[in-house]
Amino acid sequence: MPSGAFDRYASGVDPAVSLQIAHDTATALVRRIRESDDPAVLERLLAYTADHGVGELAELWSAAPAHSLPGALWRLYVIHASIVADESFAAAAYDTGAALEATADVVVAGAPQPTSPDDIRELADEILRGAFHGDIGDALDRAAAYCRIEARGVTDIMGRSELGNSVLMQRALTLTDFANDLAASAKLDRTGELH
């Protein structure tokens, strides 16, 4: 047996099966919420996510390609979780980045200026709502704009720190990668190729 086949069996789950499950669950979740006439369904999902995260689904989605529906949803949930985990820092970094940004990203992301922790939390919730009710491409573009602004703000905060901070540097790099991935996924959605 080739070593690659052995590794697949040793892990317990065939990666192709895991990837198919990731795509199926992401598609089913989006479809279920969009087809529901009850607006409370989405609110229950957001409340559940805020309280418990998405656990196993997020784990499945995290292994999906960046430019896919499950990959995009995973990035949206990671962004939402990072905002919820420290709303004050997220708001301060966003506010700093928005003041430095000379692009349409501030308008696209849509958080008020100055940005309070409540404002940044509402932005995170609006982006998630938009992914399920509304145009997912627009939600992904908003999230990408948020990531670019936040990365700029984190970089500026880090640059003004005397010590520097590798955690902040990693956060800025991740946000930049997420912005690129989300923007690419938004383009795929508009051509009907986001699966």
**pLDDT (tens digit per residue) in 16-30:** 787 888 888 888 877
Where do the domains of the chain lie?
3-190
Separation of alpha carbons 76 and 20, rounded Å = 20
pLDDT in tens, 61-92: 898 999 999 999 999 989 988 998 999 999 99
Predicted structure pTM score: 0.85
Q: How many Å from the N-terminal Cα to the C-terminal Cα in the chain?
A: 33
